[in-house]
Structure 1
Amino acid sequence: MAEVRVGVVLRPQSPPEELRETVVAADEAGLDELWLGFPEHGLGAAAAALTWSERLTVGIGLLPPRDPAVAATEIAMVARLFPGRFVPAVGPARTAHAVTVLREHAVAVRRLLQGETVEVAGQLEAVGLDWPPEQVPPLILGAREPETLALAGEVGDGVLLDACFVTPKYVASASARVAQAALAARRPAPRVVTFAEIEPEVPALGDRARALIAELAAAGADSVVLQCTSQHPYPGPLIAALSR
Structure 2
Amino acid sequence: MLMTTLGAVFLPYLPPERLRSIVEKAEECGLEELWLWEDCFRESGIATAAAALAWSDTLRVGVGLLPVPLRNVAATAMEIATLERLFPGRVRIAVGHGAQDWMHQVNARVESPLTLLREYLDALRALLRGETVSTEGRYVTLRNVTLDWPPERAPEILAGAIGPRSMRLVGGSADGAVVVAGTSPAALTEAISLLNEGAHAASRPEPVPVVLYVHAATGPTADERMEGERERWGYESTVDRVVTGDAKAIAAAVRTWAAAGAQTVILQPTPDEPDLEGFIEMVARDIRPLVD
Give TM class, smaller chain: over 0.9
Q: What are the residue-to-residue correspondences of 1:44-55 with 2, within 5 Å?
A: 44-55=47-58
Q: Which segment drifts farther, 92-101 or 226-235?
A: 226-235
* Equivalence for 2:161: 143
Q: Say if 1:228 and 1:60 are closer, same or farther in 2 by CA, change over 3 A.
A: same
CA contact (8 A) 2:7 2:283 kept: no
Corresponding position: 1:64 with 2:82: no
Distance in 2 (CA, whole Å) between partners of 1:180 and 1:30 is 36
Q: Say if 1:9 and 1:105 are closer, same or farther in 2 by CA, change over 3 A.
A: same
TM-score, structure 2 length as denominator? 0.78
Q: 1:110-160, CA deviations, whole angstroms, 9 ceiling, x for partnerless residues?
A: 000101111222621111111111021110000111111111110111100
Distance in 1 (CA, whole Å) between partners of 2:274 and 2:90 is 24
Distance in 1 (CA, whole Å) between partners of 2:180 and 2:274 is 16
* Equivalence for 1:25: 25
Corresponding position: 1:112 with 2:127: yes
Q: 1:43-83, CA deviations, whole angstroms, 9 ceiling, x for partnerless residues?
A: 12111111222221111111011211111011111111111
Q: 1:8-66, CA deviations, whole angstroms, 9 ceiling, x for partnerless residues?
A: 00001111122111112222222211100235511121111112222211111110112
Unpaired segments of 5 or more residues in structure 1?
A: none
TM-score, structure 1 length as denominator? 0.93
SS of structure 2 residue aligned to 1:132: coil
What is the identity, as a one-letter code, of the residue corresponding to 1:239? Answer: I
Q: For the pair shown, which has the larger CA radius of gyration, 1 or 2? A: 2
What is the identity, as a one-letter code, of the residue corresponding to 1:153? Answer: G
SS of structure 2 residue aligned to 1:129: coil
Corresponding position: 1:232 with 2:273: yes
Distance in 1 (CA, whole Å) between partners of 2:65 and 2:125 is 16
Distance in 2 (CA, whole Å) between partners of 1:145 and 1:156 is 15
CA contact (8 A) 1:10 1:234 kept: no
Q: How many matched pairs?
A: 243
CA contact (8 A) 1:90 1:141 kept: yes
Match of 2:253 among 207, 212, 222: 212
Q: What are the residue-to-residue correspondences of 1:163-242 with 2, within 5 Å?
A: 163=181, 165-189=182-206, 190-201=208-219, 202=222, 204-232=245-273, 235-242=276-283
CA contact (8 A) 1:206 1:238 kept: no
Identity %: 41
User: Alpha carbon RMSD of aligned pairs, Å?
Assistant: 1.7
Q: Say if 1:24 and 1:167 are closer, same or farther in 2 by CA, change over 3 A.
A: same
Q: Which segment drifts farther, 218-227 or 31-40?
A: 31-40
SS of structure 1 residue aligned to 2:44: helix
Q: What are the residue-to-residue correspondences of 1:25-104 with 2, within 5 Å?
A: 25-38=25-38, 40-65=43-68, 66-93=71-98, 94=100, 95-104=110-119
